[in-house]
Structure 1
Amino acid sequence: MNWETYHFDELTASKLYDFLKLRVDVFVVEQNCPYPELDGLDQGSVHLAYTENGQTLAYARLVPAGIKYELPSIGRVIVHPSARSRGLAKELITKAMDYIVAEWQANEIQLQGQVYLQNFYESFGFLPISDAYDEDGIPHVDMKFTKNKM
């Protein structure tokens, strides 16, 4: 398995293209949700990805505290359609949380999850901190993980 983290300035044009293509293919095309995928947060974020045979199969964007939220956050959580049901989503969230706690010394993590994934995120200790709301035509909920509540 090949899990890697990248700061924006470490990304090659090819790697950045792979990440953005996967995000657009799933979030915009598969979910039929036109929204501003390029939101200005990539440059200050850490990009966590799993690559196999040269193809990005799992990806998440880790946003430091103070950029999107007061807390560090996990976003753009995605598993390539061809790699679903292999446990990569669980590994992805675990690695994202481990990175944020270890590298950023964070005790809390926030995310904006699609409502249908709320139970999945709750299995990692995230709890809802908002009611469900519409974000670009898809129901979402804000959630927060607190380290000492595990």
Structure 2
Amino acid sequence: MLEIKVKSFEELTKQELYDILQLRSEVFVVEQDCVYQDIDGKDQKALHIIGYKNKKLVAYTRIFKPGDYFEASSIGRVVVAKNERQFKYGYDIMQASIKAIKNHYNETLIKISAQCYLKKFYTNLGFVSVGNEYLEDNIPHIAMIRKHLTH
């Protein structure tokens, strides 16, 4: 079971920020072999959903209120450490993120930009794809929305 923390950028310790950026870089830059600007100037506006297992960061997302990223509230930078994925922590961190959007922003409409190979994962969490696939940083993505809280 993950220990989940929700923190604003200002509340993050230097070590937490370092751990978050290290995990994002490990997966999005190194594992996915994708050169892109992860540090995009948006972390300051986000709430950070941090999942710990035995005091080690293993899962993470960042959430935005409507207008700060998309028109709707949104979840991004969804990441689970490679050696922890078999434990389904992706579902835990996403469910915590959906709940945090409801608790902090009083919103249930959520839009994400999902990597296409994860479409089934997001569908299982109540998201529905909208529009056509598109390339983002040379990786196929699809926009997905979730309209109501069912979990």
SS in 2 for 1:84: helix
CA RMSD between the two structures = 1.5
Give 5+ residue unaligned stretches, structure 2.
none
Off by >3 Å, runs of 4+ in structure 1: none
CA separation in 1, counterparts of 2:99 and 2:80? 18
Is the contact made by 1:41 and 1:63 (CA closer than 8 Å) also made in structure 2?
no
Q: Report the Cα offset of residue 80 of structure 1.
A: 0.4
Kindly report which structure 2 residues correspond to 1:73-112, keeping only aligned pairs within 5 A, or say none: 73-112=74-113
Is the contact made by 1:113 and 1:142 (CA closer than 8 Å) also made in structure 2?
yes
The alpha-carbon distance between structure 1 residues 78 and 147, as it changes in their structure 2 partners (threshold 3 A), is same
Query: What amino acid sits opposite 1:37 in the alignment?
Result: D
CA separation in 1, counterparts of 2:107 and 2:120? 23
Give 5+ residue unaligned stretches, structure 1.
none
Corresponding position: 1:65 with 2:39: no
Identity %: 35
Corresponding position: 1:13 with 2:14: yes
Structure 1 length normalisation: TM-score? 0.95
Q: How many aligned residue pairs are there? A: 150
CA separation in 1, counterparts of 2:149 and 2:46? 25
